Amino acid sequence: MSFQALVIRKDDQGYRAAIEAVDESDLPPGEVLVEIAHSNLNYKDGLAITGKGPVVRSFPMVAGIDFAGTVLESSSDLWRPGDKVILNGWGVGEGHWGGLAQRARVKADWLIPQPEALTSLQAMAIGTAGYTAMLCVQALEAHGVAPGGEVLVTGATGGVGSVAVSLLARRGYQVAALTGKLSQTEYLKVLGAHEIIDRASMAAPGKPLARERWAGVIDAVGGATLANACAATRYGGIVAACGMAQSLDFPASVAPFILRGITLAGIDSVNCPRPRRLAAWAQLAKEIDLAHLEMIVEEIGLAGVIPAASELIEGKRRGRIVVDVNR
């Protein structure tokens, strides 16, 4: 049986991505075969599809780090045919064929149950970005940041940022949203941001220490922005770093760490242990604002992924892009 997939190739003809017919027998090894309903488009997917970053580790590769679907076959006791499942990370779409396809075969312990409160479309509207945002919120609260405190969210119109703003505002935090898209001010205010800050004010290297302001920070961009966020974090505060949309560099000083005792917490969603994944998704199913989620998301078909990937990398998209792989 053949199915449609977004395949990335690198050979004598160069680096390229295209929608191709793939035979089920070509799928990589795994205990579970899944019929995919929805995937999505993350920043990492955009880098992989456009070739703008060294994401893909072997070729050919089916792109897509997320998917939601139904188990067709399973040789594992964890899953039975008919189970609704989701997958985030684990190197899928990088070193193992991913979710921008109509079928996938993966390891059984990479999957988690799709929460009953969510459809496959809603689960992928959340996806790795929203799940990462929840991991960041949980890190802040485990550190002691409490509702009412002022929290900075960088890259606020992106996938992680949009969900983080909504989650934090819903929990009662004062959310400052940093963005280069000031035209999206109303969008961010509807999500719950109480202040919109132009990213240009934090995009260049700054002072080792700035005026104390943030009880916590969720940073999805890295670079000078992350360094400046650390410099302005209050005594004993925490910065959760989960992305590098601006840069992998960290041009910072040790001053905030040794003079204000702040914590820089790295948030990894790819290899996050299963219990933490389940806890994050359980909270998301309870707390996600479905009206906000509907406003955040845009749904496209598989054929629209390649142009959307370029626009995502160029900063021309906001929120979440869900892919119906069957249209």
Q: Are residues 209 and 150 in the same domain?
A: yes
Residue 299, beta-bridge partner list: 322
Q: Answer whether 237's CB lies under 8 Å from 145's CB.
A: yes
- CA–CA gap between residue 275 and residue 132 (Å, rounded): 14
Q: Are residues 110 and 132 in the same domain?
A: no
Nearest to 41, CA basis, from 8, 64, 21, 75: 64
Q: Are residues 207 and 158 in the same domain?
A: yes
Say which residues have a Cβ less than 8 Å from residue 19's Cβ, sequence separation at least 6: 4, 5, 6, 7, 302, 303, 306
The list of the chain residues with pLDDT below 50 reads none
Q: Residue 276 falls within a domain, yes or no? A: no
CATH code for position 10 = 3.90.180.10
Q: Are residues 186 and 215 in the same domain?
A: yes
Q: What is the pLDDT of residue 315?
A: 87
Q: Are residues 166 and 64 in the same domain?
A: no
Q: Are residues 133 and 109 in the same domain?
A: no
How do residues 267-321 score in pLDDT, each as one tens digit? 999 999 999 999 999 999 999 999 999 999 999 999 999 999 999 999 899 899 9
How do residues 3-37 score in pLDDT, each as one tens digit? 999 999 999 999 999 999 999 999 999 999 999 99
How many domains are contained in the chain? Answer: 2
Q: Residue 10 falls within a domain, yes or no? A: yes
CATH code for position 207 = 3.40.50.720
Q: Residue 243 falls within a domain, yes or no? A: yes
* Signed CA dihedral, 241, 246, 248, 252: sign only: negative
- For residue 76 the two structure tokens come to 């594992």
Q: Are residues 60 and 87 in the same domain?
A: yes
Q: What is the pLDDT of residue 20?
A: 97
* Signed CA dihedral, 65, 271, 112, 282: sign only: negative
Distance (Å) of CA 154 to CA 17, 252, 264: 30, 17, 15
Q: Domain range spanning residue 201?
A: 128-266
Question: Model pTM?
Answer: 0.95
- CA–CA gap between residue 155 and residue 84 (Å, rounded): 32
Q: Residue 184 falls within a domain, yes or no? A: yes
Q: Are residues 82 and 6 in the same domain?
A: yes
* Alpha helix positions (H), the chain: 43-50, 120-143, 159-170, 185-191, 223-231, 255-259, 274-287, 290-296, 305-313
Q: Residue 273 falls within a domain, yes or no? A: no
Q: Are residues 63 and 132 in the same domain?
A: no
To the nearest 5 percent, what fractions of the chain are helix, strand and coil?
A: 35, 30, 35
Q: Residue 35 falls within a domain, yes or no? A: yes
Identity of the amino acid at 91: G
Q: What is the pLDDT of residue 1?
A: 87
Q: Residue 106 falls within a domain, yes or no? A: yes
Q: Are residues 139 and 242 in the same domain?
A: yes
Q: Are residues 80 and 171 in the same domain?
A: no
Strand order in the sheet with 195-198: 195-198, 174-179, 150-153, 214-219, 233-241, 263-266
Q: What is the pLDDT of residue 155?
A: 96
Question: Left (φ > 0), alpha (ψ -120 to 50) or beta: where does 237 sit?
Answer: beta
Report strand pairing: 174-179 vs 150-153.
parallel
**What is the chain's length?**
327
Q: Residue 57 falls within a domain, yes or no? A: yes
Q: Are residues 133 and 260 in the same domain?
A: yes
- For residue 217 the two structure tokens come to 């920070």
